[in-house]
Structure 1
Amino acid sequence: MASLGWSYRDTPYDPYWGPTSSKANFCEEDYIVTRYIAELVNTLTNLTYILYAIHGIYKNWGRKDAFLRNIPYLGIMGVGFGSAVFHATNKYYTQWADDLSMLLATATVMHRVYTYDDTPLHAVLKGLGLAAFLTVFSVWHCLSDEIVGHSILFGVMVVLVGTKTRSIISHRVEDPAVKKEVRKLVRWGSVIFISGYVIWNIDNITCSWLTQAKRTIGMPLSFLLELHGWWHIFTGIGAYIFIALVEYLTSEEAGEPLAGRFAWPIDLFLRRPRSTPNIIRTGYGTLSAAPENID
């Protein structure tokens, strides 16, 4: 019996989408809350990706280059929808949507960092080449039913994006104070990503204990122990940080102060200039001069 909320059912609901067939299944119990959603928390936490994507697209409203800026945000939105559909159904074919949307989102950022200073023709040609490669890989991935190649390709793409981003920071940001803030934001993004990965693995390793604890606590407080959902939240924040940072670095705004450019809670990590009076001490007393900005 639950001690702090509603009790879990002894048996799951009859699945609206039919029996689960996906290779991957996570610690959240299937169809335990409703017959229409296999994993409720793992499905709803994908709103993190979608909301950050909407924020990024909204901020670019009215810009001449809004479409190009928004392509990575559309990619992360695709991750949110693809992952939500997968966790809602736990079907084999929807698992493909989850897997491939990760590659698509990373590819959009990769295209941005490697083409931001290209001519439009070269950018289009590189985009077509990348799209062709991903199409061939996706077909092979689905037909061969493999997962190792997908993981390797995703890792390689992330490394390429990270390496190129470091190079762009060195060339596009001259102000030492701004460069320090940019690098701090990169560190925060990395820490958030790694933390999400650790939490996901804790979810895998301690699933039996977590399931018992969730049933003891009861819903809805037990939802806090759905650690794969926290993976979605952490990676959603981390992905937004890198997408928004790449957008900043590859635009005419590169080198300007970062504060005020990012969604909550990222903007909390960034320092805002504050004004304090310039105190001048003399032998006759203390004089206050005009305020000056202190970084």
Structure 2
Amino acid sequence: MPSWLPSLPYPPSSRGYWHPVTSTINWCEEDYYATIYAAEVINTLTNLLFLYLAYKGISNCWTQGHDSIFLVTFVGYLLVGAGSFLFHATLKYPMQLVDELSMIYTTCLMCYATFSYAKTRLYAFILAIALVSLALFITLYYHYLQDPAFHQNAYAILTAVVLLRSMYVMEISIRPSLRRREANHKKEEIEGSLSRETIQEQDRKDRRDEVILKDMWTMIASGLSIFLGGFAIWTLDNEYCSSLRRWRRQIGLPWGILLEGHGWWHLMTGIGAYFYIVWGIWLRHCLNGRQEEYMMYWPRLYVLPEILRREHEPAFHDGTITKKEKSK
């Protein structure tokens, strides 16, 4: 540690208010070294980002008129953050279940939103029953096994299925070349029956949708990179815990906090999951043909995106809304 950089030595770990630990897993952050009221103080406090983003998402859904399934999903996202906050503060098994199972339930909600779109009520009802049954099975079997690997694998599989399905629907339904593939053999007949103005309007919409797709893929790449980056740090935190603990004590506080890998996992997966839900909202509006009613506000890569209702009718230019337009 450079002599010119001030630091404080780490206090020793102690027995805290929530002793004893009953969770089936403990993380690399030392227990009760900062306060007796939070077993893992950094892992606890980093969940505040979940609570903030959940509030931001719920507020956006409420004020902008997004589909109710996404409002419910953000409530589930809120429960993930709150459950994780309580789990890391107490390291109690019931709080561990709230943390980990809420991740499964929220992903099931996104699964329903993805696979039930444009389906019959009967299909949606059967899908809902199937997902509730799946969530119940995961809950009971996980409680029986008490093996974190089972939860992690179940969550990863569900997330991958929903993500891949959403990408497929996005490309098939929005990309003009794929959307019209089935009508290619009638192209000459269709073009001959359309007026010049109609063809020009369709060309404008095609250019609009191409820009929207480009922005969506940028959002997917950004969110997925952040999420997977968090997973990589989480893995390193688990594999090299003893070394990280030694380095933290050598560096001292507050700089040792930067080596709390599970805290970085919370921050990065929280942002990545938020990106995914916002993408789902924008995708749903595009599938409903409401691109002219809504716009994605994402002026910079480091600004969190949100979907806003248009309050005026400017010519569609790039699929995003500027700060100047937002202020009007």
Q: Give distance in 2, aligned partners of 1:77 and 1:265.
A: 20
Q: What aligned pairs does 1:222-261 form with structure 2 within 5 A after superposition?
A: 222-251=256-285, 252=288, 255=291, 259-260=296-297
- 1:36/1:163 Cα in 2 relative to 1: closer, same or farther (>3 Å)? same
Instruction: Label 1:19 to 1:138 Cα distance change in 2 as closer, same or farther (>3 A).
Output: same
Q: Hey, what does 2:31 align to over in structure 1?
A: 30
Q: Which 5+ residue runs of structure 2 have no aligned equivalent?
A: 176-208, 307-317, 323-328
Q: Normalization by structure 2: what TM-score?
A: 0.74
Q: Which of the pair is proportionally richer in strand?
A: 1
Q: Using CA pairs under 8 Å that are at least 6 residues apart, name the structure with larger relative contact order, 1 or 2.
A: 1
Residue 90 of structure 1: aligned partner: 91
Deviations 1:227-247 (A, max 9, x none): 110010000000011111011
Task: Please state how far the C-alpha of 1:103 moved relative to its aligned partner.
Answer: 0.7
Note the C-alpha offset of 1:28. Answer: 0.7
Kept in 1: contact 2:275–2:305 (CA 8 A): no
Distance between the aligned counterparts of 1:273 and 1:239, measured in 2? 22
For normalisation by structure 1, the TM-score amounts to 0.82
Partner residue, 1:205: 239
Query: Does 2:268 align with 1:266?
Result: no
Give the unaligned 5+ runs of structure 1.
275-295
Q: More helix per residue: 1 or 2?
A: 2
Q: Within 5 Å, give how 1:152-171 maps onto structure 2.
A: 152-171=153-172
* Partner Cα separation in structure 2 for residue 207 and residue 185 of structure 1: 32
Q: Shift in Å at residue 271 of structure 1?
A: 8.2
Within 5 A, what are the aligned runs for 1:75-154?
Answer: 75-120=76-121, 122-154=123-155
* Deviates most, 183-192 or 124-133: 124-133
Deviations 1:157-188 (A, max 9, x none): 11210121112211332422221111121111
Q: Distance in 1 between the 2:249 and 2:281 partners?
A: 44
SS of the aligned residue for 2:78 comes to helix
Separation in 2, partners of 1:60, 1:253: 18
* Residues 82-107 of structure 1: CA deviation (Å, up to 9, x unaligned): 11111111123322222211111111
Asked if 1:184 corresponds to 2:218, the answer is: yes
Quickly say closer, same or farther: Cα 1:199–1:271, change in 2 above 3 A: farther
Q: CA deviation at 1:65?
A: 5.5
Of all paired residues, the percent bearing the same amino acid is 31
Shift of 1:66: 5.0
CA contact (8 A) 1:4 1:221 kept: no
CA distance in 1, matches of 2:289, 2:60: 14
The answer to whether the Cα contact below 8 Å between 1:45 and 1:232 also exists between their aligned partners in 2 is yes
- Misfit runs of 4+, over 6 Å: none
User: Quick one: structure 1 residues 178 and 67, their matched pair in 2 at CA, closer, same or farther if it must change by over 3 Å?
Assistant: closer
Q: Offset at 1:136? A: 2.7
CA 253–196 in structure 1, closer or farther in 2 if over 3 Å, else same: farther
Distance in 2 between residues matched to 1:271 and 1:4, nearest whole Å: 48
